[in-house]
């Protein structure tokens, strides 16, 4: 909830750096305040899951059932290509 405020105060920071600062600020909060955030998150999660179940029930053709993530597959492909590039570099080096 403080993202916009810190983003304006520290415009030179990128998202990763800003996230680190906000994470540290969160860690410094008292447990009772953290508990409020946890409870709010759990409530929103339950509402989301209920809405998602309702959507899937009302739109069975649109809801995809996937056991693996496409992102994971893409990451594997990129890693495989990078590895293949490294193998080619090694083969060239070994020839010389």
Per-residue pLDDT tens for 31-78?
Answer: 999 999 999 999 999 999 999 999 999 988 886 665 555 555 655 565
Instruction: Give the pLDDT confidence score for residue 40 in this predicted structure.
Output: 95
Structure tokens of 48? 């989301």
Tokens of 62: 């649109």
Identify which of 9, 52, 4, 1 has the alpha carbon closest to the alpha carbon of residue 29.
1
Which pLDDT does position 64 carry in this prediction?
67
Which of 1, 28, 4 lies closest to 15, judged by CA? 4
């Amino acid at each position: 909830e403080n993202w916009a405020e810190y983003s304006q105060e520290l415009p030179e920071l990128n998202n990763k750096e800003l996230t680190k600062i906000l994470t540290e600020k969160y860690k410094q909060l008292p447990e009772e305040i953290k508990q409020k955030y946890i409870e709010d998150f759990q409530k929103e999660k339950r509402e989301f899951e209920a809405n998602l179940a309702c959507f899937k029930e009302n739109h069975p053709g649109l809801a995809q059932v996937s056991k693996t993530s496409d992102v994971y597959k893409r990451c594997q492909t990129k890693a495989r290509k990078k590895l293949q590039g490294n193998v080619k570099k090694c083969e060239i080096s070994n020839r010389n």
